[in-house]
């Protein structure tokens, strides 16, 4: 395994002159099945308000994001051709993403994903992305840059980058208890094409899962519809799609579980427990389906397989 190259930054408090050293930021960030994005709760709110086809555009744009720089380089014709949709649909989706401050245009065909909502890497890297994002917004809009009391000094370039106010109370990259959702690339594909109300069902189940802390959600469909403020047919459609895309799984009638391999919340130990539970329930459901797929129960209620005798095996011609 190649050795990870790191850049050690120095943080300086402009008010007190206090200096923090040994703040490392790896120069390489990769993406894959085991690498996750750190998402804030505000990120999920920005996924609402799109049409069915527009949601595919959003998922495609997020999937194109470079995790090292949080930049998205693509043109509207490329998105239109890949998704087989109209130019107006792509333009409308991009405009909505910009209005929700999910992305910000920094050049022709180049956007930057808001690192406060979605980013990959450690807290030092995210702080650097936040500072870069704020600088672009200030330059493009003319609004004065709001900086905090800390600056990061790069030992290689000697550049001092002012950090955002979020790092004032306690340095963001020194706080190991930052709460966030873990999102994997498969999540973007799973939610592509969902309607707004169908996505509301998923987000409601995720919010309940987080509040309970057990990774399970125990509600019948009628209660889900009432709590998420959608219709029962919408919940039925949403559940069918989510189950087909392996985003949720059902066990013991009204118990639901979110796939922790796509989206999870909590430390590594909790996530491992949820992964084992999810794969165990999945294997149990598949075994039940295989066991009962071709089994016809006896009408005598004896629990034994019943094979009709004397019936034609194929339709008879009149």
Q: Return mean pLDDT, the chain.
A: 81
Listed in order, strand segments (DSSP E) in the chain are 6-13, 19-26, 37-39, 71-73, 103-107, 110-113, 118-119, 150-153, 160-162, 181-183, 216-218, 248-251, 255-258, 263-265
Q: Beta 19-26 vs 6-13: how paired, if at all? A: antiparallel
Residue 36 pLDDT greater than 50, yes or no:
yes
Count of helix runs (H) and strand runs (E) in the chain: 10, 14
Residue 92 domain flag: yes
pTM of the predicted structure, to 2 decimals: 0.79
Same domain, 161 and 288: no
Q: Whole-angstrom Cα distance, residue 192 to residue 50?
A: 11
Q: Which residue has the tokens 């910009």?
A: 98
Same domain, 141 and 279: no
Same domain, 164 and 199: no
Total tally of structural domains belonging to the chain: 2
Return the DSSP state at 219.
Answer: -
Per-residue confidence at 29, pLDDT binned at 50, 70, 90? low
Residue 135 domain flag: yes
Same domain, 11 and 92: yes
Domain closes at, from 110, 145, 174:
174
Q: What is the mean pLDDT of residues 214-238?
A: 87
Same domain, 170 and 199: no
Q: Whole-angstrom Cα distance, residue 172 to residue 121?
A: 13
Return the DSSP state at 230.
Answer: S
Residue 277 domain flag: yes
Same domain, 162 and 40: yes
Range of the domain at 94: 6-174
Same domain, 144 and 270: no
Residue 181 domain flag: no
Same domain, 125 and 218: no
pLDDT tens for 179-209 read 688 899 899 989 999 999 999 999 988 886 6
- Radius of gyration from C-alpha coordinates of the chain: 25
Same domain, 70 and 143: yes
What is the percent of the chain with per-residue pLDDT over 70, rounded to a whole number? 78
Write the CB contacts of 185 (distance below 8 Å, at least 6 apart in sequence): 31, 32, 33, 63
- pLDDT at residue number 177: 42
Same domain, 90 and 36: yes
Same domain, 141 and 216: no
Residue 67 domain flag: yes
Domain of 235, CATH number, reads 1.10.10.10
Residue 308 domain flag: no
Same domain, 49 and 115: yes
Per-residue confidence at 173, pLDDT binned at 50, 70, 90? very low
């Amino acid at each position: 395994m190649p050795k990870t190259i790191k850049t050690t930054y120095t943080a300086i408090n402009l008010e007190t002159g206090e200096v923090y050293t040994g703040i490392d930021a790896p120069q390489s960030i990769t993406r894959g099945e085991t690498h996750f994005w750190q998402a804030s709760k505000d990120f999920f709110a920005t996924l609402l308000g799109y049409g069915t086809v527009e949601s595919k555009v959003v998922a495609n744009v997020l999937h194109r994001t470079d995790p090292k720089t949080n930049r998205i380089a693509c043109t509207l014709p490329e998105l239109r051709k890949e998704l087989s949709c109209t130019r107006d649909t792509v333009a409308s989706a991009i405009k909505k993403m910009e209005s929700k401050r999910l992305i910000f245009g920094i050049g022709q065909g180049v956007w930057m994903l808001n690192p406060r909502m979605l980013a990959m890497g450690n807290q030092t890297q995210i702080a650097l992305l936040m500072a870069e994002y704020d600088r672009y917004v200030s330059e493009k809009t003319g609004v004065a840059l709001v900086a905090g009391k800390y600056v990061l000094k790069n030992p290689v370039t000697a550049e001092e980058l002012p950090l955002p106010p979020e790092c004032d109370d306690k340095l963001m990259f020194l706080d190991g208890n930052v709460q966030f959702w873990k999102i994997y690339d498969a999540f973007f594909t799973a939610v592509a094409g969902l309607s707004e109300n169908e996505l509301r069902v998923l987000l409601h189940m995720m919010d309940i899962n987080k509040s309970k802390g057990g990774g399970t959600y125990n509600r019948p469909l009628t209660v889900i519809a009432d709590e998420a403020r959608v219709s029962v047919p919408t919940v039925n459609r949403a559940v069918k799609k989510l189950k087909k895309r392996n985003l949720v799984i059902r066990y013991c009638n009204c118990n639901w579980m979110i796939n922790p391999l796509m989206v999870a919340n909590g430390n590594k130990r909790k996530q491992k427990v949820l992964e084992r539970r999810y794969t165990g329930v999945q294997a149990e459901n598949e075994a039940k389906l295989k066991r009962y797929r071709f089994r016809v129960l006896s009408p005598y209620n004896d629990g034994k397989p019943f094979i009709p005798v004397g019936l034609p095996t194929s339709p008879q011609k009149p």
